[in-house]
Amino acid sequence: MKGKLSAALLAAAMLGLTLPAAAVSAKKETPAVKKAAAKKAGAKHGSKTANKAKANAAPGKAARHASLADSEPGRLALQSSSVLVLDQSSGEAIVEKQSDAVQPIASISKLMMAMVVLDAGLDLNEVISIGEEDVDSLKGTTSRLSVGTTMTRETALLLALMSSENRAASALGRHYPGGLPAFVQAMNRKAATLGMSRSHFEEPTGLSSNNVSTAHDLARMVAAAARYPEIRHYSTTAEAQLELHGRIREFVNTNTLVRSDNWEIALSKTGFTAEAGRCLVMQAKVAGKPVVIVLLDSNGKMTRVGDANRIKRWMESANSSVVNARRST
């Protein structure tokens, strides 16, 4: 459900960018719910398909078309190469599929970027600028944030988390004390602190295929990022209107599910590069449970959304079966 993002939130936080009151805000943080037992779904590997392996993908990566099976309510087929659904109340894995495979994570990296910025206690109202150094020379992606655009650190965080703006994320790293090298070191130190032993970061945007992790490590990162109100808020903001160079531009969330009334999402981040495929991580409430969902290397623009919806329907169906069984006794 959409909410309104107050004009006052960013009006004082921007120079050269203004935010009208019509912009849509994030959803509230999902409260913790009672602990519930969940059955772990077993991963079933599908056969490899010719020419499906991606360049620079992590070694040992299984074929894309694999299935997850569970005795009740039936077969759960997911197209993402790596999957983890974690019950945050119990810490138990509800669904797993190649959850320890090391692979590129694309813009999921921006959650670590945001934590490092906020951990530093930097002034969110300080004005930073987009420079030539922020232009993507790795993948050649474009941006509506032209060189010379100025904004507050808070606005840059919003755009990086909501719309996955690479130039905003790069500028945040450059304007860190000690510059980009110190920022990347801080990202890797934070990962080590969180116990992300199979993760590595090379830059803040996720454009580099050397930004790698596993589904298990990312579940740790999502749980940690969800403790930051700013990250929860910005990553689930549905849309915002900003004035850029005299024109009003609309920025939308890269995760369409945050605009769905059927989902209760507390934190969200998408990612995409040719090497990483389509990725999605979320903290959400599903079937009355607070869960972390990690979907990596989905093939097809809507596959990660489809997998998320399949997981949600499967959990709701299983929960309904349990409730009905209890009532019958």
70-80 tens-digit pLDDT: 434 346 789 99
Which is the catalytic residue, given 80, 109, 143, 164? Answer: 164
Greater confidence, 323 or 156?
156
Q: Which of 202, 201, 136, 131 is closest to 171 using CA atoms?
A: 131
279 found inside a domain: yes
Which is the catalytic residue, given 27, 110, 269, 312? Answer: 110
Greater confidence, 109 or 33?
109
- pLDDT tens digits for 137-164? 999 999 999 999 999 999 999 999 999 9
33 found inside a domain: no
- pLDDT tens digits for 184-236? 999 999 999 999 999 999 999 999 999 999 999 999 999 999 999 999 999 99
Tally of structural domains, the chain: 1
- pLDDT tens digits for 196-208? 999 999 999 999 9
Please check the confidence at residue 112 and state whether its pLDDT lies above 50.
yes
| pLDDT on residue 324 | 52
Q: Which residues pair with 277 in a beta bridge?
A: 273
Would you call 107 a catalytic residue per the annotation? yes
281 found inside a domain: yes
37 found inside a domain: no
Would you call 199 a catalytic residue per the annotation? no
Please check the confidence at residue 312 and state whether its pLDDT lies above 70.
yes
| pLDDT on residue 67 | 34
Question: For 75-84, 104-113, 129-138, 275-284, which range has the lowest pLDDT when averaged over its residues?
Answer: 75-84
Greater confidence, 140 or 41?
140
Share of the chain above pLDDT 90, in %: 69
Across the range 92-97, mean pLDDT stands at 95
| pLDDT on residue 238 | 97
| pLDDT on residue 164 | 98
48 found inside a domain: no
Domain with residue 303: its CATH number is 3.40.710.10
Segments forming the whole domain that contains residue 255:
3-27+80-328
Instruction: Give dist(CA 315, CA 317) in Å, integer.
Output: 5
What's phi and psi for 30, nearest 5 deg?
A: -75, 125
Greater confidence, 38 or 311?
311
Would you call 146 a catalytic residue per the annotation? no
32 found inside a domain: no
Please check the confidence at residue 328 and state whether its pLDDT lies above 80.
no
Half-sphere exposure of 76 (CA within 13 A, CB side): 30
SS (H, E, C) the chain: CCEECCHHHHHCCCCCCCCCCCCEECCCCCCCCCCCCCCCEEEECCCCCCCCCCCCCCCCCCCCCCEEECCCCCEECCCCCEEEEEECCCCCEEEEECCCCCEECHHHHHHHHHHHHHHCCCCCCCEEECCHHHCCCCCCCCCCCCCCCEEEHHHHHHHHHHCCCHHHHHHHHHCCCCHHHHHHHHHHHHHHHCCCCCCECCCCCCCCCCCEECHHHHHHHHHHHCCCHHHHHHHCCCEEEEEECCEEEEEECCCHHHHCCCCEEEEEEEEEECCCEEEEEEEEEECCEEEEEEEEEECCCCHHHHHHHHHHHHHHHHHHHHHHHHHHC
Which is the catalytic residue, given 25, 99, 107, 213? Answer: 107
41 found inside a domain: no
* The two three-digit tokens of residue 145, written as one number: 């944030």
Residue 150: CB atoms within 10 A of its CB come to: 16
66 found inside a domain: no
Confidence of residue 290 (pLDDT cuts 50, 70, 90): very high
